[in-house]
Amino acid sequence: MKIEIEEKLQLLVGKQLSRSTRAADMECMKFGILNKEFEGELLNIGEYGLHLQSPWRIVRNDKIVIGSMDLSWEVRGGRNLRDLNMKILTTKSLTVTSISADNFGGFTLHFENNVVLEVIPCLSSKSEHAEYWRLLDNVNNGHLVVGGDGLYNTPEKDNHQDKEKSE
């Protein structure tokens, strides 16, 4: 699994972290610029996206800058620490310089300026519903899904029934 993940994530090397959004606790990072119209508004969906559902953290040197557990609602104005820190981080010019992966579905993205994203799956379930993360290729309309049951490629509009039929 390690080699396959490293090969797929090579698409991100040289790409800039251009935007990040969130759906509940899933972080949705965008890399590169790809604008598409959505409900009458032009949005950067990124050439590639990472949807992270496993624990993750962004570190710089010896400090955790943002962690997936930073969904603290103690910040005034209805915002939370994670969203505020991601907004600040995405205003910086962070380009992916290298990647490395492990055999458990985890990986590390190295950015310029000693900034590192570490994704650490912490779920032992082998269920097909135990998704750790996915890489969205918005240029070629495909996804790489990594979870408890391994990794697989799927077209943009995927579901687990398609996966089961193709095995």
Q: Is the backbone of residue 105 left (phi > 0), alpha (psi -120 to 50) or beta?
A: left
Domain that holds residue 70: 2-166
pLDDT at 154: 78
Residues pairing with 2 in the sheet:
none
Total-model pTM: 0.86
9, 137 contact by CB (below 8 A): no
pLDDT at 100: 98
Residues of the chain predicted below pLDDT 70: 73-78, 155-167
pLDDT at 72: 78
pLDDT at 155: 67
Concatenated DSSP letters of 28-71: EEEES--EEEETTEEEE--SEEEEE-S-EEEEETTEEEEETT--
Q: Which of 104, 99, 122 is CA-nearest to residue 48?
A: 99
Domain tally for the chain?
Answer: 1
